[in-house]
Amino acid sequence: MLSLRLFCDVVRLQSFSLGAKRHHITQSAASQRIGALERQLGVTLIDRSVRPLTVTPAGNLYFNEVQDLLERYDQLESKITELGAELAGEVRVDAIYSAGIDLLQKIEQQFQVRYPQVTIATRYRRPEEVYDAVRHRQCDIGIVSYPQTWRGVSWLHLRDETMSVICNPGHPLATQNVVHASELDRWPMISFEPGLPLGRHIRRYLRKHGSEPSITNVFDNIDTLKSAVAVTDQIAILPKRTAVREVRAGTLALVALRPKLTRPLGMIYRRRSGASPQTLPPAVQAFADFLLEHAGPKVDLAADILAAGRRPQPLVGATV
C-alpha cells in the first residue's frame, strides 16, 4: 500500500524528489521502490528520460486504477474509524479569487465549531487551475463561477450573486441609485481579464445592452480591481457582496445595475469513472453538505436543480 501511495504522489507531483519528501524518504529510496513495483508488474510505469517526468500509457492506466483503489480503501477506513471516533481529517478546497475570502472563512469557522477535528485547507487560484486541481485530485472540492460540464468533473449550484457598478464616492455616478447598462459607456471602465469567465460574461452583457465602454485596465482579481477604482475616475462591475466592506468604510460607492446581472457560483468535485457512484470521504462529504447549506439561499439551489430537470439530492453520486 505504501508503494502505491508513493507511486501516485510521484506521478501527481511529477517529481521523485517531491514524492520522496512527502513520504519522508530519500529520492533514491523512492526510485528503488517504484523500480521494484515496475519489475513486479513487468512494465515501465514512469518515463525517466524527460523532465518533468511523464507516465507511460501503462503507468497512466495504473495510476487511475490505483487512485480509485486507494480512495475506496481510505473511504472504508474512514467509515470504520468514524464508528468509534469523532469526524476528523483534512478537506482541501480550491476556489477562484473572487469566491470571497471573507465568505469562505466564515463558513470554515462555523464548520469547525461543529467538527473541530477537521482541518480545512483553502487555496485561491485561477478558474482553469481549480478545474485541473479537482480533475487531478490535488483538491477535494473546487468553487468556481459559471460552472460548466467538464470531463471528469461534476458540479452543483451554490448561489447567484447580484452584480453592481462600483465607483469612488466622488464620482458623478455615485449620486445615482440605479444605472442602466446602456449608460455605462460614458465612463472609462476597469474590468476582469477577458480570459476569465466573469470578464467574458460582463463584456457579453454590455454588448447585449448596447454599451461599449472604454476598458482601460484589466485584472485577474477583485481586490486589485477595487483598489484601482477607489483612487481613479473609472468604474467597474463586480459582485455586490464583494464591495460591502469598502462601501461601509466610505472608500467605494455601489450603484444598482439594470437590467439585473447575476453571477452563478458552483461547487465542483471529481466524478469517478465507471457505473458505481462516487462516495466522498466523510469529512469532505460533511463540508460539502455544510457548504451547500450555508453558502447561499436554499431557494436558489432548489430552483437551479428544478430548472435543470433534476430532483434535489445529496452530493454523493450526483452528476450534472
The answer on 99 and 64 residing in a single domain is: no
Strands 189-192 and 153-167: unpaired
User: Residue 318 has what pLDDT?
Assistant: 31
Beta-strand relationship, 153-167 and 236-239: antiparallel
For residue 274, what pLDDT is reported? 46
Domain boundary (64, 81, 98) is at 81
Are 196 and 281 part of one and the same domain?
A: yes
Are the C-beta atoms of residues 240 and 194 closer than 8 Å to each other? Answer: no
Last residue of a domain, one of 30, 61, 81: 81
Is the domain of 161 the same as that of 227?
yes
Q: If pLDDT is split at 50, 70 and 90, which confidence band does 80 have?
A: low
pLDDT classification of 317: cutoffs 50, 70, 90: very low
For 19-34, how does the pLDDT look when each residue is reduced to its tens digit (9 = 90+)? Answer: 888 888 899 988 999 9
pLDDT digits (tens, 9 = 90+) for 43-64: 999 998 888 888 999 989 999 8
Quote the CA–CA distance of 135 and 179 in Å, as a whole number. Answer: 41
Summarize the confidence of residues 285-298 as an average pLDDT.
76
Query: Which of 31, 47, 81 is at the close of a domain?
Result: 81
Residue located via cell numbers 469513472: 273
Query: What is d(CA 29, CA 55) in angstroms, rounded to the nearest whole number?
Result: 19
More confident residue, 200 or 102: 200
Taking all residues of the chain, what is their mean pLDDT, rounded to a whole number? 83
| Domain count within the chain | 2
List the CATH number of the domain containing 27.
1.10.10.10
Q: Is the pLDDT of residue 222 over 60?
A: yes
- How is residue 76 written as a grid cell? 472504508
For residues 165 and 240, state if they share a domain. Answer: yes
Do 117 and 255 reside in the same domain of the chain?
yes
CATH of the domain at 144: 3.40.190.290
Among 70, 69, 4, CA closest to 36:
4
For the chain, the farthest-separated pair of C-alpha atoms sits apart, in whole angstroms, at 74
Q: Kindly state the average pLDDT of the residues 68-93.
A: 75
pLDDT band at 260 (very low <50, low <70, confident <90, very high): very high
Does 118 lie in the same domain as 205?
yes
pLDDT of residue 291 exceeding 90, the answer is no
* pLDDT tens-digit map of 117-170: 899 999 998 889 999 999 888 899 999 999 877 778 888 888 889 999 999 999
Q: What is the pLDDT of residue 281?
A: 80
Q: Are residues 17 and 135 in the same domain?
A: no
88 pLDDT above the threshold of 60: yes
100: domain range?
88-320
d(CA 191, CA 214): 10
Do 30 and 135 have their domain in common? Answer: no
103, 239: one domain: yes
Please check whether residue 17 is in contact with residue 51, taking contact to mean a CB–CB distance below 8 angstroms.
no
Model confidence at 68: pLDDT above 50: yes
State the distance between the two ends of the chain, measured CA to CA, in whole angstroms. Answer: 33
Residue 191 scores a pLDDT above 90: yes
Query: How many whole angstroms separate alpha carbon 211 and alpha carbon 234?
Result: 15
Question: Which of residues 277 and 174 earns the better pLDDT score?
Answer: 174
Task: Provide the whole-model pTM.
Answer: 0.63
Same domain, 107 and 12: no
CB atoms within 10 A of CB 7: 24
